[in-house]
Structures are given as C-alpha cells and as structure tokens.
Structure 1
Amino acid sequence: MELLLLFYKLIVWGYTAFDYISSEQREGSWFVLSSLIYFCLSLFASIVRNVRWKKGAALCSVVLVILSSVYVEPLFVLLLPFNGYELASFYIPRLWGIWAALLVPVVWLDPSAGKLYGFVALFSFVSVTAVKRHIERMEQQEDRLDQMRHDLHRLTRRISEYHQYIKQSEYTLQLEERNRLSQRIHDQIGHSLAGALIQMEAAKRLMDGDRDKAKQLLENAIHISKEGMEQIRMTLKQIKPPLEQIGLNRVKLFIEEFSAQHHLPVPLVCKGDLDVITPIQWKVIYENIAEALTNAVKYAEATAIAVEIHVLNRIIKVEVKDNGKGAAKIKKGLGIIGMEERAASVHGTVIVDGTNGFSVTTLLPIHE
C-alpha cells in the first residue's frame, strides 16, 4: 500500500514540477529542497513499522505540503489529499469521512485550483480505497490460509493418532490370537497328549502281567497320539495364511500408507492366479513397487499413480505408471539399477518408459 501511494504521489508531484518549471521567474532551490524533504518523509513512512513514527511522518508531510504550497509552489497543495489520507486514516475509521475531511481545503482555493484539487482528491480516494480493499482481501486470504494450515495440522495429528490406534489394535489382536491359540492347545491337543501318556504308562505297568491288555492300551495311545497330531496340523493350517496373501497384503498395506502420506490416489489392480507367485518374487515385487512409487513422487510431479499386478501364462507383469512429466531420455540412477538387479536375481527384467508419463514394468518368469 505504501509503495502504491508513493507512486501516486510521484505522479502528482511530476505535474507540480512541470508547472513549476514552466514559470521561469521562480527560484528552483526551495522547490528542490521541499521535494527532497517531502520524498524523504514519504520513504521513511513506508519503511518504518512503528505506528507512532508513521503518524509523525504523516503529520510532518502535511505541514510541509501546506507550507510549500503557501511559500514555494501553490500546486504543492495537490499532494495534500494523499498525505491527509495517511494522517486521517489513523483517527477516522470510515473512508467517506476521510474524503470529506480532504475536501476542506477547497474552501480556500480559487475555482480553477479547487477543481483540480477536487479531482486529485477524488483520484486519491478511489485509488487508495481500491488498494485498501485489495489489502483487506489479501489479509482475508492469509487468514483462510492460516485456517487451512491449522486444519491440515489437526488432520495430520488425527491421522497420526489413527495410525497409533491401528498399531495398538494390531498388537491387541496378536495378544488375543496368542491367547486363543494357547487355550486351544491346552483344551484339545494338551488333553489328547495327556490321555495318550496315561495309556502308555498303564501299558507299561501291564506289560509283564497282561500283555493283551497292554497291547490294547498301546493301540489306544497310538490312536490318541495320531488324533493329537492331526489336531496340531489342522490348527497350524488354520493359523498360517497362504504365502500369496502375505505378499499381496504387504503390498496393499504399503500402497495404502503411501497414498495417505502423499495425498495421491494409487489404485491397485490384480489379475490372474496370484498363487503361482513365489515368496522371493513377492519380495522383488514389493521392493520394486516401493522404489517406483517413491521415484514418481520425487521426480515425476505426478498427481495419480496406478499399480497393476497381472499374472499371464508364462510371466508375471508388475507395472507402476504415473501421469507425471515423463522423460524423453531416461538416465538410470541407483533406483532403476537396483530394480533391475533385484529382477535379474530371479531371472526377470525391468522395462522403463517415459514417453507418456512414466512407467516401470517388472517382468518375472513363472516357475513350473
């Protein structure tokens, strides 16, 4: 605002200086001195931040303009509206009241100078009002931006609390699963093994006296032990998830966390029989997807990223594609070289394309 006012003052002062130069009979030293003092005060008012110093500079400028218009150049009074606005704005809250106060000097001016002064006063009022409205809108935008920062901070804190809650829930579920497993082993498998042990102890005591009875007890113990082993096998089978679910869930979890952290949509599409993917291949797939997503955020400036895992007849195709700026000439850094080395360790390959966005395709063979 201060710089715009200074620019407007310079325009009006230029008109005053032109009129003064046109009058050849006048001394120029006082005009130059008054102009220098005036602009020094204006620059001081635009630089200083203390309100008292601003008021003092505005008051000195008004006094200087009045004295210069009386003793040096009458048209110096045209600068009074701008400086009067600066001074009156500290005491009069309404803009119309300030403009009315700026029109007071018209009473003491001749008609021609009064018209010119009124025009300059109107110009200063309109221009300064527009600048002030612009500053108010900027302040409102700053307030909205601060509110958005506050909301973002609050949402980030809630997301952090949500992740802590998820971790705590996972830990609680693990404890509950351990407790359930322990209880099941105790109630079913423990009882079966205890029964078999009792049968074998009894057979041992009857071995010398009643061999037929001892044989029957041993057969019962063997039967009970087989049932216990079968229960152990079924329990472990129910607890242990399939390998393909472990790999796929790990990939899904990483993509969900990545999408939430970077505020990017990252859809995952899976096609074909995922059972054929081995654990070591899932490890390569996971690490290559993580590297490709990280590179897309760091270098591609993408707003959306898609991940596809497609199991074909002979190969496993894993593609990470974004809508970023791409690259006409691809320079392989440590990230791409690392992906190629991981794929090569399981006899696979990596294809990188930067013509339409940026895509990283990992091709792995299916082991029969």
Structure 2
Amino acid sequence: MEIWIIFTKMILLVYIAIQCAQANVSHISWVVLAFLVYFCANITIYILKNATLKRVLYVLSIGILTVAYLSVNPLFSLLLPLTIVELAASFIDKKLTVLLLALLPILYLNAPLQPIYGLAAGVSFMIFSITSIYGEKLMKNEAQIDSMRKQLQKLTKHIHENSEYIRQSEYTFKLEERNRISQEIHDKIGHSMTGALFQMEAAKRLVETDQHKATELLQNAINISKDGIENIRLTLKNMKPPTEQVGIHRLKLLIDDFNAKQPIKTIVTNEGNLDIIAPIHWKIIHENVTEALTNTMKYSHARQVSVDLKVLNKMIRVEVKDNGAGTEIIKKGLGIIGMEERTAAVNGKIIVDSTHGFSVTTLLPLGPSLINGNKVP
C-alpha cells in the first residue's frame, strides 16, 4: 500500500519540478531545498512504526508544503491532499470526512490553481482508498496464512507424535506377542518334551533288566511326543493368519506404497469370496499388479489408476486400468510377456486393452491348476 502512495507523491514532485523548470524559476535553490526537506520527512514517515510520531511528521509535512506554497511555488499545494488524507485517515473512519478535509485548502488557493488542486485531491483520495482496501485484504490474507501455517505446524507435530506412538505400540505389541509365544512354547511344548525325555532315559536304564517296563516307558514317551507335536501344530496354526488376509493386505500395502511415491491416484476394490484364492494365485496377482502399475507410471501419463479384484464362480479377475492416453498399437515388452508366462503357468490368461486408457486384465481359473504338468490345489 505504501509503495503506491510514494509512487503518487513522486509523480506529483516530478510534475512540480517540470513546471518549475519550464517557468525558469529564479530561486531554483529554494525549490530544491523544499523538495529535499519534504522528501526526507516523508521517507522518515514510512520508516517509523510509531503512530504518534507518524502523525507529527504528517503535520510537519503539511507545514513544509504550506511554507513552500507561500514562499517558493504555489504548485507545492498539489502535495497537500495526499498528506492530509494520510493524516486524517489515521484517526477518522468516515471516508467522506477525510475527502472534505483534503478539499478544504481549495478555499484559500488562487482561482487558476483550484481546478488542478481539486483533481489532485480527488485522485489522491481515490488512490489512498484503493490501496487501503487492498492493504486490509492483504493483511487479512497474511493473518489467515499465518493461522493456517500454525495449524499446519500443530497438525504436523501431532502426526509425528502419533507416528511415534504407533511405532512404539507396534514394537510393544511385537514384544508382547514374542513373550506370549515363548511362554506358550515353554508351558505346553517344553513340559511335554521334558516328560518324554525322562521316560526315554528311564527306559534306557531298564531295557536290559525289565524289557516290559522299558517298552511301556517308551510308549509313554511316544504318546507324550505326539501330544507335543500336536501342540506345536495348533500353536503355529493359531499364529498364522489366513491366506486371504495376507493376500489382500499385501495388495493394499502395494497400492499404498505406490500412492505414496507417485502423484497418480490409485484405487483398489475387491468383490467376492477371497478365501478360495490359493497362495499361488495371490503370488501371480501381486506380481502382475506390480508390473502393470510400473508400466502405468512409466508410459501412461495418467492421473488415476484402479485395481479391481473380483472372485467369480469359476475364475478370478484382476483388472488394472488407468485413464491415460493409451496407444493405438500394443507392443508387448518384457513386462507383459512376463505376466503372460506367469498367468499361463496356471492355465490363466492376460487381456490387454488400450481403447480407453490402458488396462491389463488377469484371468485365473479357480479349482486345481496345472503348473509344469502337475496339479496344484
């Protein structure tokens, strides 16, 4: 805002200087002195921050201009309106009153000077009003930006704190889970193995003297060992998550990682019974989706890509489709050829389409599949 006011004052000073030069003013040294004193006073106004000192300097500037008007050149009166507007606006809110105060000196000026003074007063008031409105909006925007910046800093701090809490919670959970598994192995399996070992040690000592008792002890050791092995199996079964949970979770992690590293928005959807997807099918799905996303990142120039997994009655359908430019001629590179080979190993099929964007669809048959001539359940 202050830049425009200073610029307006500079234009008026230049105009006054030109008029003085054309009029061949004899006391040019006094004109230069008046310029310098007024210029120094106004520069000081925009340097100071104290409102009271600013008002004092405004009054001083008005006095300098009045003296210059009376003693040096009447054109110095053209600088009065803007200075009066600045002073009046510092303690008067009504704009009409400010304008009237700026026009008040016109009553005491010579008649030839009154029109140009009125024009200068009107332009000065208009420029000051516009810059004031713009300055207020700018200050509000800066205040909003500062407020948003502080909120962003708080949110960033909360995110870091939450991330640290999540990491600590995950670490604590892992320690607790390891401790639980260790305790369960010690309580169930360790006691069983220790009992079986005692039985076998006793049978070893009695094998020559009492074969019947030794045989009985060995049978007990066998039974205890069977129970221990069954406990191990049950413990591992309870620890191992279902295949479908691992598969879909890995797929979503893959998509999240891709979203974090690329500006392309990626959406994953699934439909149907995921329980019947075999581990070999999940492996092929993960590898094909990874390859398709890599191709999208390199060649498609897309803004969005979707990964749609559907389990149908007799097959699994996985489509990776983007909204990019596509291509008229599909050239199968090593990536697509690799997807076709992996999919064909289980009697599946790859469908590539570039009609609207680019899509790669993987079709995998449900039920027993053939891998190198051998059935895989």
| Paired letter, 1:346 | R
TM-score (structure 2 length as normaliser) = 0.67
**Which segments of structure 1 move beyond 6 Å, counting only runs of 4 or more?**
10-18, 41-46, 54-61, 257-265, 292-296
Residues of 2 paired with 1:126 and 1:159: CA distance? 49
Q: Hey, what's the Cα distance between the residues in 2 that align with 1:287 and 1:156?
A: 31
> Equivalent residue for 1:4?
4
Cα pair distance change 1:85/1:262, threshold 3 Å? farther
Call closer, same or farther: CA 1:317–1:43 in 2, change over 3 Å. Answer: farther
Question: In 2, distance between residues paired with 1:293 and 1:148?
Answer: 35
Q: Does the CA-based 8 Å contact 2:352-2:360 persist in structure 1?
A: yes
After the TM superposition, which residues 38-187 of structure 1 pair with which residues of structure 2 at under 5 Å, given as runs? Answer: 50-51=47-48, 66=66, 69-70=69-70, 74=74, 77-86=77-86, 88=87, 92-94=90-92, 96=94, 99=99, 102-110=102-110, 113-114=113-114, 117-118=117-118, 120-187=120-187
8 Å contact from structure 1 (residues 350, 362) kept in 2: yes
Please say if residues 41 and 61 of structure 2, whose CA atoms lie closer than 8 Å, have aligned partners that are also in contact.
no
The aligned residue for residue 218 of structure 2 is 218
Deviations 1:308-345 (A, max 9, x none): 233455564242546xxx44769x9xxx9796576467
> Is the 1:78–1:120 Cα contact (8 Å) retained in structure 2?
yes
* Distance across 2 between alignment mates of 1:76 and 1:308: 78
Deviation at 1:354, TM superposition (A): 9.2
Identity over aligned residues, as a percent? 32
- Alignment of structure 1 residues 1-368 onto 2, 5 Å: 1-5=1-5, 27-30=22-25, 50-51=47-48, 66=66, 69-70=69-70, 74=74, 77-86=77-86, 88=87, 92-94=90-92, 96=94, 99=99, 102-110=102-110, 113-114=113-114, 117-118=117-118, 120-253=120-253, 255=255, 267-274=267-274, 275-276=277-278, 278=280, 280-281=283-284, 283-284=286-287, 287-288=290-291, 291=294, 300=302, 302=303, 306-311=306-311, 313-314=314-315, 316-319=317-320, 321=322, 326-327=324-325, 340=336, 343=339, 346-347=342-343, 351=352, 361=360, 363=362, 365=364, 367-368=369-370
User: What displacement does 1:248 show?
Assistant: 2.1
Counterpart of 1:346 in 2: which secondary structure?
Answer: helix
The number of equivalent residue pairs is: 345
Residue 147 of structure 2 aligns to which amino acid in structure 1?
Q
CA distance in 2, matches of 1:309, 1:174: 31
Quick one: structure 1 residues 306 and 115, their matched pair in 2 at CA, closer, same or farther if it must change by over 3 Å? same
Greater mean alpha carbon deviation, residues 201-210 or residues 129-138: 201-210
Structure 1 residue runs without a partner (length 5+): none
- Aligned residues of 1:343 and 1:362 also touching (Cα < 8 A): no
Contact 2:309–2:317, Cα closer than 8 Å, also in 1? yes
CA distance in 2, matches of 1:350, 1:132: 65
Residue identity matched to 1:155: L
Q: Which amino acid counterpart does residue 135 of structure 1 have in structure 2? A: G
Deviation at 1:141, TM superposition (A): 0.6
For the aligned residue pairs, the C-alpha RMSD in angstroms reads 5.1
In structure 2, do the counterparts of structure 1 residues 240 and 293 end up closer, same or farther at CA, with 3 Å as the change threshold?
A: farther
* 3-state secondary structure, aligned to 2:196: helix
Inter-CA distance 65–253: structure 2 relative to 1 (3 Å threshold): same
Q: Tell me the CA shift for residue 138 of structure 1.
A: 0.9
Deviations 1:53-88 (A, max 9, x none): x979989976786567557864553342124445x3
CA change 1:215–1:311 in 2 (3 A) is same
Question: Is the 2:267–2:307 contact (alpha carbons within 8 Å) kept by the matching residues of 1?
Answer: yes
Q: Partner amino acid for 1:226?
A: K
Secondary structure of 2:241 counterpart = coil
- Whether contact under 8 Å (2:301, 2:325) holds in the other structure is no
1:232 shift after superposition = 0.8
